[in-house]
Amino acid sequence: MRSASDLTARARIRDAALARFGTDGIAGTSVRAVAADAGVSPALVVHHFGSKEGLRQACDDYVLDSIRSGGAAASEALGEVLQAATPVRRYLARALLDDTPAAGALFAEIVDRTQAWLAAGEDEGWVRGCADARARAVTYVSWLLAPLVLGNHVGRLLGGDPAETTTAVRGTRAGLEMLTNGLFADDRWLAAFTAIDERKHR
């Protein structure tokens, strides 16, 4: 475990920014606050990153790299993300909401990988067929991302602190059950939706 003090100042600033951006949002975080957290003068952060925007991009690049390098060839495309360090997760959630280009690219990349993974599973017989593979991949990724984005609320309701493993486990297990056995015992909702949809398209 690295201690904060033996990192280069540049890295300390990046880590502090990651944490603060994730907690308070990018607009809600001041350069001064980041500098203070890193034990550094505000002038140094702009010396290293050019501007606040530059700092944000550095954060984008950092989480992008740490996710991509994490397990490019891993089977479960998103498993790595969910197990990344918590500040990274929170920052990722913020970035996705703030809709930065980097976040969009990352989301698209995750979806692509997941779609390929699901297609492979379909070939091998352990994933069911479906009408719209693209839509399914997008929806599936959204679902995996959801507890991450809503982590605070989910954690609060499931007891224990949000970062803790044991609370995430309950949600993950419940999700897996739904994905394996299904949630609804008959197709009443699916049929109802299809009916409405067709009526609208006529």
In the bound state with DNA, the residue whose beta carbon lies nearer, of 28 and 121, is 28
- For 107-112, the CB contacts below 8 A with 24+ separation are 107/141, 109/68, 110/77, 110/78, 110/81, 110/141, 111/137, 111/138, 111/141, 112/137
- Reported as half-sphere exposure (CB side, CA atoms, 13 A), residue 100 has a value of 21
**In the set 97, 116, 119, 120, which binds its own copies (CB under 8 A)?**
97
Give the largest CA-CA distance in the chain.
66
Q: Do 170 and 158 contact (CB within 8 A), yes or no?
A: yes
**In the set 74, 108, 116, 119, which binds its own copies (CB under 8 A)?**
108
Considering only 45-53, 87-95, 124-132, 161-169, which stretch makes contact with DNA by CB under 7 A? 45-53
**In the set 53, 76, 164, 177, which binds DNA (CB under 7 A)?**
53
The answer to the question of residue 123 lying near its own copies (CB under 8 A) is no
Going by C-alpha positions, the residue among 1, 87, 82, 94 that lies closest to residue 37 is 87
- Where along the sequence are the contacts to DNA (CB under 7 A)? 8-10, 29-33, 39-44, 46-48, 51-53
- Where along the sequence are the contacts to its own copies (CB under 8 A)? 24-28, 93-94, 96-99, 103-104, 107-108, 111, 121, 125-128, 130-132, 134-136, 138-140, 142-143, 145-147, 149-150, 152-154, 156-158, 169-190, 193-194, 197
